[in-house]
Amino acid sequence: MKTSAIIAMAALLISAAVPAFALDAQEQAICNISAKTCLNKADILQKKIKKLNAEVKKGDKKYSTEEMKKLEQKLQEAIDQLDKVEGK
């Protein structure tokens, strides 16, 4: 009688613990997806910054003063976004 009571209690405890483990797995999956998205966004921003830097280096030969200001503003915005993504 004792053994069957212990087995029943063990089964009850195990069945109660399974949803908690599943929740942890779900949270971990969400975290992994978020991290991957964050890394992708950082890569995209780094490429954008590289392109904008290349355009800024062309300078006044290709762009007017007003266009240069817009390029520099876009570059600074991209750098700020990257800093936010990287947590700086």
DSSP character string of 1-24: -HHHHHHHHHHHHHHHHHHHHHHH
| Tokens linked to 26 | 């779900």
Q: For 65-86, how does the pLDDT look when each residue is reduced to its tens digit (9 = 90+)?
A: 899 999 999 999 999 998 888 7
pTM above 0.85, yes or no: no
Give the model's confidence band at 12: pLDDT under 50 very low, under 70 low, under 90 confident, else very high: low
Q: For 15-48, how does the pLDDT look when each residue is reduced to its tens digit (9 = 90+)?
A: 555 554 555 777 777 777 777 777 788 889 999 9
d(CA 15, CA 13): 5
